[in-house]
Amino acid sequence: MYIYPDNLRAKAAMFLWTLSDIAIVCVGCIISVFAIAQLSLALPIVITAVYAFLTIRFDDTTILDFIIYAFAFFIGRQQLFHWRATA
């Protein structure tokens, strides 16, 4: 299902990914199938699955962006408030 963007400058999306992400995941899946069949190596499919999960897009925000924002809020850039008594 192709979703036409509301504004014409938005990236084209299909299901939950942009079209470039879908292309990368498809190429990764093809490479992963060959790696599993020929080398019995499961690492490429794991990398492809993690990339596919992190690039899921909701309202122009990916899962990776959300994780980065959460890390910055809770751990990275803590807000410090210095209270002064004003008389």
Tell me: the pLDDT tens digits for 11-56? 777 888 888 999 999 999 999 999 999 999 999 999 999 999 999 9
Reported pTM: 0.74
In a domain, 62, yes or no: yes
Which has the closest alpha carbon to 19: 44, 31, 2? 2
In a domain, 86, yes or no: no
Q: How many domains does the chain have?
A: 1
Transcribe the chain into DSSP letters: -EE--SSTTSPPEETTEEHHHHHHHHHHHHHHHHHHHHH---HHHHHHHHHHHHT-EETTEEHHHHHHHHHIIIIIS----------
In a domain, 12, yes or no: yes
Query: What is the span of the domain harbouring residue 41?
Result: 2-76
